[in-house]
Amino acid sequence: FMIFTLGLDSQFAMMETVISGLSDVFPYYLRKHKTLFTFVTCMIGFLLGIPQVCKGGIYVLTLMDWYSGSYNLMIVSLCELVAVCYVYGVNNFRRDIEMMLGGFPNVFWVYWYVTWCFITPVAIVFIVIMSGITYAPAYYTKYEGVYTFPDFAEGLGWLMVVSPLALIVGGMIVQSIRYGGVAKALKAQPDWGPALDENRIGRYSPRDEPDFSKDEPAGATNMGYMGEKGRPYVVNDKNGYDHRL
């Protein structure tokens, strides 16, 4: 029973990550049909999991476990750290957290600055390098001996490694084209900030509100926050973002 509840809790966390992420990217379409979207997402995950409980499913599970959380997970984590600490700016991220949770002593932030900006990136790079040096093809140990996966299975495994990284590169290219260059794509949008009006104070306060009655419906901005239709928010220059380019 404990294993069942532990697995169920893990599924909640993983599915909520997928659902929230896609809803932030396509809020105008998915948030209006959240129940249906959640059901479809869970059904897709259920159907994709069926091969792992069939005869020979242990081989599928071993292959996925071997490759799906290896290099790609480390590189994605490194990209997130670089994006938050060195592109968006660790000080901006600190102000966002303090806006949501309140102020913290400076000693508290020293630990996180050192961890986010130095220790964790260096540790991730070290892990990736050591994993490459000690790499071995996937295998499964059973009673009859050790089963080594064929070449096509290894190819599928490396496809699982490359796919998330390809999405990151593809997203960077699309955003660079959309905003007219890499430098502009790396900057926070003018409407970046809390979604609710009552939370837009201080550095998030709107400076002016021109008439944009012909604007398109609101969409997701950098991190999923949305500006209301016809009310683009402009960051106050005196309390603006500390862009790190």
Render each residue's pLDDT in the chain as its tens digit; 245 residues.
777 777 788 888 888 888 998 888 888 888 888 899 999 999 998 998 898 888 888 899 899 888 887 888 899 999 999 999 999 889 889 888 888 887 788 888 899 999 999 999 999 999 999 988 988 888 888 877 888 888 899 999 999 999 989 989 998 899 899 888 888 888 877 777 787 777 777 777 765 544 444 444 444 444 444 444 444 444 444 444 444 43
Residues 33 and 138 in one domain: no
Q: Are residues 61 and 180 in the same domain?
A: yes
Cβ-Cβ contacts under 8 Å for 120 (sequence gap 6 or more):
77, 81
Please indicate, yes or no, whether residues 15 and 73 belong to a single structural domain of this protein.
no
Last residue of a domain, one of 185, 200, 233: 185
**Which of these three, 164, 185, 206, is where a domain ends?**
185
220 phi and psi, to 5 degrees?
-75, 140
Do 161 and 218 lie in one domain? The reply is no
Q: d(Cα 231, Cα 226) in Å, to the nearest integer?
A: 10
pLDDT (0 to 100) of residue 242: 45
Instruction: Dig out the tokens for 195 from the structure.
Output: 């979604």
Cα(90)–Cα(117) distance, rounded to whole angstroms?
A: 8
Question: What is the predicted pLDDT for the residue at 36?
Answer: 92
pTM of the model: 0.69
Give strand ranges (E) for the chain.
139-142, 145-148
Please give the tally of structural domains in the chain.
3
Q: Could you give the count of Cα atoms lying within 13 Å of 61 in the half-sphere of its Cβ?
A: 10
- Classify 22 as helix, strand or coil: helix
Largest CA distance in the chain: 74
Asked if 99 and 141 sit in the same domain, the reply is yes
Domain residues for the domain of 207 are: 187-245
Q: Is 51 exposed, middle or buried (0-12, 13-18, 19+ CB in 10 A)?
A: middle
Please identify which residue in the block is written with the tokens 């968006």. Answer: 88
Both 13 and 80 in one domain: the answer is: no
CA-CA distances (angstroms) from residue 38 to 21, 23, 219, 238? 12, 10, 20, 42
In a shared domain, residues 97 and 176: yes
Q: What local confidence, expressed as pLDDT, does residue 8 receive?
A: 80
**Nearest CA among 77, 81, 79 for reference residue 69:** 77
- Whether residues 231 and 145 fall in one domain: no
**Integer Cα distance of 12 and 39 in angstroms:** 13
> Domain end: 37, 54, 71, which one?
54
Residues annotated within the binding site are 6, 9-10
Q: Are residues 234 and 115 in the same domain?
A: no
Let me know whether 22 and 122 are in one domain. no
Q: Is residue 22 located within the same domain as residue 87?
A: no
Q: Are residues 35 and 81 in the same domain?
A: no
Distance from chain centroid for Cα 156: 23
Instruction: Enumerate the known binding-site residues for Na(+).
Output: 6, 9-10
SS3 148: strand
